[in-house]
């Protein structure tokens, strides 16, 4: 064996004793561990699920209905609802084709300085029953109340196929231009009640006298 090689190994052993080599190794392990922990904690955690989105044209109720829409279609008393307020059940639960037509008409009406307000839209059966009971109390009989309020079984509001629009200038605009969108006034005594009864540009049927037929 080469003597110089033996001398070099001995010299290295004297310069770096075993305890020092082990200490350096432990230091490196701890340092790398600390770097890994800091790096891991600095990375933001990905959300478990993506936020739900809903389009009024998607059809049906969204998978997760917003809290404001989780009601029976009763309109809030502190603000007006427009055809674009799809966070409210009265709007978001309308038939998707009806809603699309009303929104298109509302956009065009704005060009004439007319703003649409939804005075009633989709209603639950319980809501419709309550309105009928109030109508009976107001008009004195079921027969008279039926001229303005349908039963829950027959109401097109309950099925989401009818919408009431206001104010009066918006009703007048829709009566004159609604056929272009397939929107028709249904009852002669309710200038605010519209349904999708024709194709775009088609001919609307003559209005019925009232909700009783």
Strand, coil or helix: what is 208? Answer: strand
What is the model's pLDDT at position 66? 53
**How does pLDDT run across 1-20, given as a tens digit for each residue?**
444 443 344 444 444 455 44
Token pair 């001229």 is found at: 147
Q: In what order do the strands lie in the sheet with 183-187?
A: 117-120, 162-166, 190-196, 183-187
Token pair 């009640």 is found at: 193
What is the model's pLDDT at position 18? 52
The pair phi, psi for residue 37, each rounded to 5°, is -65, -45
- Give the pLDDT band (50/70/90) at residue 77: confident
């Amino acid at each position: 064996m080469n003597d110089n090689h033996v001398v070099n190994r001995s010299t290295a052993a004297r310069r770096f004793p075993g305890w020092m080599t082990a200490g350096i190794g432990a230091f490196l392990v701890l340092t790398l561990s600390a770097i890994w922990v800091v790096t891991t904690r600095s990375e933001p955690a990905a959300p478990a699920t993506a936020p739900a989105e809903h389009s009024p044209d998607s059809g049906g109720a969204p998978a997760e209905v917003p809290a404001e829409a989780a009601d029976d279609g009763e309109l809030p008393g502190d603000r007006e609802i427009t055809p674009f307020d799809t966070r409210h059940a009265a709007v978001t639960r309308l038939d998707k084709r009806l809603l699309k037509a009303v929104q298109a008409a509302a956009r065009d009406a704005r060009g004439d300085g007319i703003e649409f307000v939804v005075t009633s839209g989709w209603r639950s059966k319980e809501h419709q029953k309550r309105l009928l009971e109030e109508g009976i109390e107001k008009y004195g009989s079921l027969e008279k109340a039926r001229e303005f309020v349908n039963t829950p079984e027959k109401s097109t509001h309950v099925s989401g196929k009818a919408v009431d629009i206001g104010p009066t200038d918006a009703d007048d605009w829709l009566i004159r231009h609604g056929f272009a969108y397939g929107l028709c006034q249904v009852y002669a005594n309710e200038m605010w009640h519209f349904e999708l009864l024709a194709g775009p540009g088609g001919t609307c049927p003559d209005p019925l006298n009232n909700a009783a037929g």
